């Protein structure tokens, strides 16, 4: 079997750490691994398969001999260094939003549009975390009868913002039950015991960039440029796993039993939907798992062909690291 030289750019971050874990757990054929981060982390030792490896500072020369470069160090780093990595002969799988809507870069969720991987020109984009879990749950339904419209509200964990936000929620939570004095740095308002209807920056149309990512990326991944989609994205005081209330309208009526049966068989999906036992997907139970969990499956009784779903998945795994490694697996298979 062939083995590959893999680089992780942003190896010390929330997603980078998960990437190391996922590569190990899935036994990806790694020949050599290069862990890259900013000069602040150079020399720090991280382990991969029980071997200590020193983190190196990311430079223009970081990609010699690298076959696959997994990027998760933010959009500006990707914009500058992903073309350099591709030029050096690596295939880049980029977790930032830098290339997602670039016509030359496929945007791939392996359960949905694996064939698009072949179209790459050195850079493959990994979609936004909230988009990935939604399309994994919706594609099997779209295949039965095309989805005309999606209305989605998200409940997104702080780990989606990175390590500093995880620390801020922990510290603010302690402060609330102590003396109430706290630092507010990562978000514009307190996140502990609060909700913020504000993820990423506001755009001229009044939506946030995160909300428009869900619209535009879903259309690109599903090859459905006309699909009507509206999103409201909310940051919630949860450490890991995003949750989504998803309402869809399909062209034809699909019996609820058919929706359930289809989702039960769908790749990457697990249905948890037992109302008598109070069973439905929960973010704390999705943490560390690979699946997109779907529950609360019911008809939208206010329209002809409407369905409501509750979708939960680990944003650091399927929303980022796992999806990226699955793309790498498609490349080497
Ligand atoms: N968190 C999620 O759920 C999620 C999901 C999908 C996509 N993403 C995307 O993944 C990326 C990283 O997110 P994260 O949550 O892992 O953030 P994070 O925890 O803040 O980690 C950021 C990483 O980037 C590195 N970095 C920062 N500046 C750098 C520089 N100048 N040169 C090289 N490396 C640098 C950091 O290294 P140092 O430790 O040296 O500072 C660290 O390894 C972002 O583009 C984000 O949008 C995140």
What is the CB < 6 Å shell around ligand 1?
10-16, 37-38, 40-41, 58, 72-75, 77, 95-96, 129, 159-160, 162-163, 315-316, 319-320
Please name the residue whose Cα sits nearest to atom 32 of ligand 1. Answer: 38
Predicted pLDDT of residue 153: 99
The distance from CA 132 to its chain's CA centroid, rounded to whole angstroms, is 6
Predicted pLDDT of residue 71: 98
202-214 pLDDT per residue, tens: 999 999 999 999 9
Predicted pLDDT of residue 306: 98
Predicted pLDDT of residue 26: 98
Predicted pLDDT of residue 289: 98
Predicted pLDDT of residue 193: 97
198 classed as catalytic? no
Per residue, the 3-state secondary structure of the chain, as one string, reads: CCCEEEEEECCCCHHHHHHHHHHHHCCCCEEEEEEEECHHHCCCEEEECCEEEECEECCCCCCCCCCEEEECCCHHHHHHHHHHHHHCCCEEEECCCCCCCCCCCCECCCCCCHHHHHHCCCEEECCCHHHHHHHHHHHHHHHHCCEEEEEEEEEECHHHHCHHHHHHHHHHHHHHHCCCCCCCCCCCCCCCCCCECCCCCECCCCCEHHHHHHHHHHHHHCCCCCCEEEEEEEECCCCCCEEEEEEEEECCCCCHHHHHHHHHHCCCEEECCEHHHCECCCHHHHCCCCCEEEEEEEEECCCCCEEEEEEEECCCHHHHHHHHHHHHHHHHC
Among 9, 46, 62, 72, say which to mutate for ligand 1: greatest number of ligand atoms within 8 Å of CB. 72
**CA R_g for the chain:** 20
With vertex at residue 305, the alpha carbon angle to CA 302 and CA 310, rounded to the nearest 5 degrees, is 75
Which positions of the chain have pLDDT values less than 70? Answer: 1
Q: Which of 267, 333, 320, 313 is nearest to 115 (CA)?
A: 333
292 classed as catalytic? no
Predicted pLDDT of residue 34: 98
The pTM assigned to this predicted structure is: 0.97
147-186 pLDDT per residue, tens: 999 999 999 999 999 999 999 999 999 999 999 999 999 9
Which long-range contacts link 299-305 to residues 24+ away (Cβ below 8 Å)? 299/256, 300/247, 300/249, 303/249, 304/249, 304/253, 305/145, 305/249, 305/250, 305/251, 305/252, 305/253, 305/254
Please name the residue whose Cα sits nearest to atom 31 of ligand 1. Answer: 38
Buried/exposed code over 109-143 (b: 16+ C-beta within 10 A; e: otherwise): bbbbbeebbeebebbbbbbbbbbbbbbbbbbbbbe
């Amino acid at each position: 079997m062939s083995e590959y030289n893999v680089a992780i750019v942003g190896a010390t971050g929330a997603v980078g750490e998960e990437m190391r874990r996922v590569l190990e757990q899935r036994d990806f054929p790694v020949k050599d691994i290069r862990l890259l981060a900013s000069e602040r982390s150079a020399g720090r030792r991280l382990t991969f398969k029980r071997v200590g490896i020193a983190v190196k500072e990311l430079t223009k020369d970081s990609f010699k001999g690298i076959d696959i470069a997994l990027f998760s160090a933010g959009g500006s780093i990707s914009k500058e260094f992903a073309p350099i990595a591709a030029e050096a002969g690596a295939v880049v799988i980029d977790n930032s939003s830098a290339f997602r809507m670039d016509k030359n870069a496929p945007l791939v969720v392996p359960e949905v549009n694996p064939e698009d991987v072949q179209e790459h020109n050195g850079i493959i984009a990994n979609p936004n975390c909230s988009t990935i879990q939604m399309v994994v749950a919706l594609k099997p339904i779209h295949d039965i009868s095309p989805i005309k419209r999606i209305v989605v509200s998200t409940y997104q964990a702080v780990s989606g913002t990175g390590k500093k936000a995880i620390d801020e929620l922990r510290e603010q939570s302690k402060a609330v039950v102590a003396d109430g004095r706290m630092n507010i740095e990562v978000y514009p308002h307190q996140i502990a015991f609060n909700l913020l209807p504000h993820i990423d920056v506001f755009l001229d149309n009044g939506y946030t960039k995160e909300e428009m990512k869900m619209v535009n990326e879903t259309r690109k991944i599903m090859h459905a440029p006309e699909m009507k989609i509206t999103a409201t994205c909310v940051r919630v005081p949860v450490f890991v796993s995003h949750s989504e209330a998803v309402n869809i309208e399909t062209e034809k009526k699909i019996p609820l039993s058919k929706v359930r049966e289809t989702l039960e068989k769908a790749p990457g999906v697990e249905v948890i939907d037992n109302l008598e036992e109070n069973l439905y997907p929960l973010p704390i139970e999705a943490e560390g798992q690979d699946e997109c969990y779907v529950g609360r499956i019911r008809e939208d009784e206010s329209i002809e062909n409407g369905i409501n779903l509750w979708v939960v998945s680990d944003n650091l795994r399927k929303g980022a690291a796992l999806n990226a490694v699955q793309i790498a697996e498609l490349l080497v298979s």
